[in-house]
């Protein structure tokens, strides 16, 4: 993964190519913390049921094409 913080983009490998995610909104402060998590099928099978807070689920639903 490659990140360019000033231009607000990140490039991630996906299948046999790279995908670039470009930030669009300058309204966020420079001190933003972003957390990315990777879940594999092994991790999901070995973990208890995940309860997603309603606020987070609302964001996931609102931006479903991204997720």
Q: What pLDDT, on the 0 to 100 scale, is given for residue 16?
A: 86
Please give the C-alpha separations between residue 8 and each of 3, 14, 44, 62, in angstroms, as whole numbers. Answer: 8, 19, 31, 22
* Phi/psi at 13 (5° precision): -75, 140
53 domain residue, yes or no: yes
* Phi/psi at 66 (5° precision): -75, -40
67 domain residue, yes or no: no
Dump pLDDT digits (tens) for 1-42. Answer: 888 888 888 898 888 888 888 887 666 666 767 777 776 666
**Residues of the domain holding 14:** 2-62
Q: Looking at the predicted structure, is the pLDDT value of residue 53 above 80? A: yes
Q: What pLDDT, on the 0 to 100 scale, is given for residue 42?
A: 60
**Number of domains composing the chain:** 1
Dump pLDDT digits (tens) for 57-66. Answer: 888 888 888 7
């Amino acid at each position: 993964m490659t990140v360019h913080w000033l231009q607000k983009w990140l490039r991630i490998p996906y299948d046999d190519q790279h995908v670039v995610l470009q930030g669009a909104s300058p309204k966020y402060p420079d001190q933003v913390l972003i957390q990315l998590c990777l879940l594999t099928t092994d991790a999901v099978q070995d973990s208890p049921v995940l309860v997603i807070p309603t606020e987070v689920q609302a964001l996931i639903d609102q931006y479903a094409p991204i997720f």
